[in-house]
């Protein structure tokens, strides 16, 4: 890589523009166009579940990417919970933020984040787009929910700081998101432009509290959100707003690190302008690193570079602004942990013993009625699996008890014939005829009318129904006899352990994993 580049015109300006871009790509190997762009100065790549096949493959991929550009940022959305990329094929072995907030042990949160960082560093990744520090003040939020540490700003703040400290102790950079706060929305910015109509004072007292804590803890990057705050900027969403990026984040909060955008292919950013113009506006607003999307092409990058060059030529975007952004991105790349020579895939995944599962289950919200219904029977008769449309951020990673190997579910869980799938297109039929007791398991049940209808039908037909919400439940818990506040594989294991300890008949425990346990409460 070159060092300081004049950015007035020509190849150096183009190189600096490329350094501000962070595309995604399909497949498990880097295409030649991407490697060429990296050699030309591309800022880096963002990895998604589609890019991972195995630990060895991911390390080889990252070695190729960083070999083409030693200062490249290799970013990934590994939040350590429902949003996972390292474990996209089998669900994450971590509790997730909402449960960490409910346990409220900042040392535990820091240790979990350090474990995430160690796995990322061992695979050659340099930045994780985590932690999510949004204060989830709206229980109808369709995109944050259990990704948040909670609805209390001070709780979210102390765990945000702990997560930043933990992951960055491994050399992997954290990215607190989604500035200035995506918690008070009922709209998914992947699909539309959410509006948060609150005053700056409300933001200061609620949304900004965990961001201040993350910055004080040394967060290397902050990710912006595609939400409109009309009392701060009535025209542009946060990512494209100089008032929010420059005055609020840089000025009032004093953040000096890399400001990265959420993906510009999301409707909240580019639904009006298109991606090239959104890139221009984001750079002009003060963003440094532009996450483009998950499935980008060489032609798209050409279009973005051309749009930025034209904006510079027209005087809409100072070349110095691009140079400033590129310098910050190169500094972030230069701080990355060294690439390891090899990786042992078995060492990447923590294994948790019974006491750790019990500690997680103790943070669930369980009604006395649920315990009584479960204790009245030896085995589960039917499990009703409620399948909702996948949150785009989470994707289709296996979740909850359904991510746990069938053999590890134990003898209390029914076989495949005893699991009934319900969705908006496949409503529940004849609930009275199902073998009981019936365990209904889903996520964010109150937000989906078909799920509420299935629960009502079951409760009207029988008295042995227990509902489990593995998302963010309604405030009145009307649809959640058990609220787990997370749906990672580890949370699924904890739910199964809870069932084993509550159902009447002693169960034969599953065989212990053939790995050394990594304790949640180890020093």
Catalytic positions, written as ranges? 190, 262
Contact between 223 and 258 under an 8 Å Cβ cutoff? The reply is: no
Q: Is residue 389 classed exposed, middle or buried when 0-12, 13-18 and 19+ CB atoms within 10 A define those classes?
A: exposed
**Residue of 269, 282, 273 whose CA lies nearest to 317:** 282
Alpha-carbon separation of residue 505 from 379, 487, 502 (angstroms): 7, 26, 9
Is residue 129 within 8 A of residue 294, CB to CB? The reply is no
What distance separates the 2 farthest-apart alpha carbons in the chain?
76
| Contact call for residues 138 and 147 (beta carbons, < 8 A) | no
Please give the Cα distance from 180 to 270 (Å, whole number).
Answer: 19
First to last CA, the chain: 40
Residue among 146, 142, 128, 130 nearest 82 (CA):
146
Residue pair 210/151 in contact by the 8 Å Cβ criterion: no
Is 95 within 8 Å of 486 (Cβ atoms)? yes
Nearest to 241 by CA among 199, 269, 200, 272: 269
Residue 145 DSSP label: G
User: Edge-to-edge strand order for the sheet containing 127-128?
Assistant: 44-47, 73-76, 127-128
CB 148 within 8 A of CB 104: no
* Rounded-to-integer distance, Cα 387 and Cα 212, Å: 37
Q: How far is CA 243 from CA 108, 206, 246, 253, 267, in A?
A: 37, 19, 6, 13, 21
């Amino acid at each position: 890589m070159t060092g300081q580049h004049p950015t007035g015109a020509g190849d150096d300006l183009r190189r600096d523009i490329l350094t501000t871009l962070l595309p995604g790509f399909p497949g498990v190997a880097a295409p030649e166009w991407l490697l060429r762009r990296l050699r030309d100065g591309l800022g880096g790549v963002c990895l998604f579940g589609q890019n991972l096949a195995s630990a060895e493959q991911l390390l080889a991929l990252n070695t190729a990417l960083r070999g083409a550009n030693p200062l490249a940022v290799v970013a990934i959305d590994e939040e350590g919970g429902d949003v996972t990329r390292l474990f996209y094929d089998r669900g994450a072995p971590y509790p997730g933020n909402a449960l960490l907030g409910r346990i409220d042990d900042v040392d535990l949160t820091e240790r979990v984040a350090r474990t995430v960082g160690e796995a990322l560093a061992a695979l050659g990744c340099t930045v994780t787009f985590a932690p999510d520090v949004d204060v989830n003040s709206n229980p109808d939020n369709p995109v944050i929910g259990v990704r948040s540490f909670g609805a209390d700003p001070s709780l979210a703040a102390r765990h945000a700081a702990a997560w930043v400290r933990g992951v960055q102790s491994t050399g992997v950079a954290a990215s607190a998101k989604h500035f200035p706060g995506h918690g008070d929305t009922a709209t998914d910015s992947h699909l539309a432009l959410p509006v948060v109509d609150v005053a700056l004072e409300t933001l200061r007292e609620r949304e900004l509290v965990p961001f201040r804590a993350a910055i004080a803890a040394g967060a290397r990057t902050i990710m912006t959100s595609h939400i409109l705050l009309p009392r701060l900027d009535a025209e542009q969403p946060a990512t494209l707003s100089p008032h929010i990026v420059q005055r609020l984040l840089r000025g009032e909060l004093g953040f000096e690190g890399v400001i990265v955008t959420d993906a510009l292919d999301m409707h909240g950013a580019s639904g009006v302008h298109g991606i090239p113009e959104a890139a221009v506006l984001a750079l002009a607003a003060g963003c440094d690193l532009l996450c483009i999307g998950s499935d980008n092409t060489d032609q798209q990058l050409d279009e973005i570079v051309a749009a930025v060059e034209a904006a510079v030529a027209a005087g809409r975007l100072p070349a110095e602004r691009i140079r400033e952004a590129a310098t910050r991105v190169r500094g972030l790349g230069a701080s990355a942990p060294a690439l390891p020579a090899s990786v042992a895939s078995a060492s990447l995944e923590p294994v948790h013993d019974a006491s750790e599962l019990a500690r997680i289950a103790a943070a669930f919200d369980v009604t006395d009625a649920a315990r009584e219904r479960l204790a009245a029977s030896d085995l589960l008769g039917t499990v009703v699996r409620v399948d909702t449309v996948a949150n785009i951020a989470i994707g289709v990673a296996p979740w909850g008890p359904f991510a746990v190997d069938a053999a590890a579910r134990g003898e209390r869980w029914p076989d495949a014939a005893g699991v009934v799938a319900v969705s908006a297109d496949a409503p529940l039929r004849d609930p009275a005829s199902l073998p009981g007791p019936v365990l209904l398991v889903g996520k964010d049940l109150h937000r989906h009318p078909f799920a509420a209808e299935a629960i009502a039908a079951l409760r009207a037909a029988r008295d042995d129904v227990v509902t489990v919400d593995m998302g963010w439940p309604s405030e009145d818990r009307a649809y959640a006899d058990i609220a787990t506040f997370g749906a990672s594989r580890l949370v699924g294991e904890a739910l199964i352990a809870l069932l084993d300890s509550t159902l009447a008949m002693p169960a034969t425990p599953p065989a212990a994993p053939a790995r050394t346990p990594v304790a949640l409460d180890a020093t």
